[in-house]
Chain A
Amino acid sequence: RKEVEQDPGPFNVPEGATVAFNCTYSNSASQSFFWYRQDCRKEPKLLMSVYSSGNEDGRFTAQLNRASQYISLLIRDSKLSDSATYLCVVTLLDSGSARQLTFGSGTQLTVLP
């Protein structure tokens, strides 16, 4: 089983739709969680951190479910500009290891006009 798993998609949704992605992680000791977006041929950019209580930034809502070991990203009123690949990142504090940051493989979203 992969340490961090995401549905690769693609998710094709109409403009204005609400779409949600999940990301599951296998290590219960994971401590920090983030969502990044990556546009084609560009570097990933931080979208938002994910806090235990859940957090919202405009049209984007991130939630963490420690019991079920997954994080989610909800995008409301999707825009054409939201089309990108969304990566979840899980951090495990293990100072001696090179594997303390693990990326999901990404979920591709295309918002259609």
Chain B
Amino acid sequence: GAVVSQHPSWVICKSGTSVKIECRSLDFQATTMFWYRQFPKQSLMLMATSNEGSKATYEQGVEKDKFLINHASLTLSTLTVTSAHPEDSSFYICSARDGEVSPLHFGNGTRLTVT
């Protein structure tokens, strides 16, 4: 089945630094990928939709200058958390699908801790 690989699985960084998270579709092409954030005991919250070859579409309340998304190819999207702060500590998950009505396939998530 479709596989989405996300890297790194966990990262600890100091406040003020930037962190890049990669999301790759391994055996299918994804023109659209999705980035989510999940705080403890809460549901997934869609942050943005990443579109290959064009700008990402951000959800209301998500700062596009803080969460930079680049969808460089049909198999790779990256999320960069710029100038990270402790409140950005969360579980970040990407997902992709290989068709309009296909189910989502999730990356294994990245647990970010900002100290």
Indicate if the CB atoms of B43 and A42 lie closer than 8 Å: no
Interface centre among A36, A41, A98 (most CB of B within 10 A): A98
**Does chain B have a CB within 8 A of A69?**
no
Surface stretch bound by B, among A12-20, A53-61, A70-78, A86-94: A86-94
Interface residues of A in 44-64 (CB under 8 A from B): 44-46, 49
- By a CB distance below 8 angstroms, the chain B residues around A31 are 101
Instruction: State in angstroms the CA–CA spacing of A72 and B106 once bound together.
Output: 22
Residue picked from A49, A101, A104, most chain B C-beta under 10 Å: A101
The answer to whether residues A93 and B101 also contact, given A87-B44, A98-B58, A103-B43 and a CB cut-off of 8 A, is yes
Collect the chain B residues with CB atoms within 8 Å of residue A32's CB: 101, 103
B34 touches A43 (CB 8 A): no
Q: Is the CB of B101 within 8 A of A89?
A: no
Residues of chain B at interface, number, CB under 8 A: 23
- Asked if residues B43 and A106 are in contact (CB atoms below 8 Å), the reply is yes
**Cβ-based interface call for A22 (8 A):** no
Q: Find chain A residues with CB under 8 A from B100 CB.
A: 93, 95
- CB of B101 within 8 A of CB of A98, answer no
Which of A49, A98, A101 interacts with B57 by CB under 8 Å?
A98
Across the interface, B101 reaches (CB within 8 A) one of A36, A87, A91, A106, namely A91
* CA distance in complex: A42, B107 (Å): 10
Residues of B within 8 A of A (CB): 6, 34, 42-44, 46, 48-49, 57-59, 91, 93, 100-101, 103-109, 111
Interface residues of A (CB under 8 A from B): 31-32, 34, 36, 41-46, 49, 87, 89, 91, 93, 95, 98-99, 101, 103-106
Q: Can you pick out 11 interface pairs between chain A and chain B where the beta carbons lie within 8 Å of each other? A: A34-B103, A42-B109, A43-B106, A43-B107, A43-B109, A46-B104, A49-B103, A95-B100, A98-B49, A98-B57, A98-B59
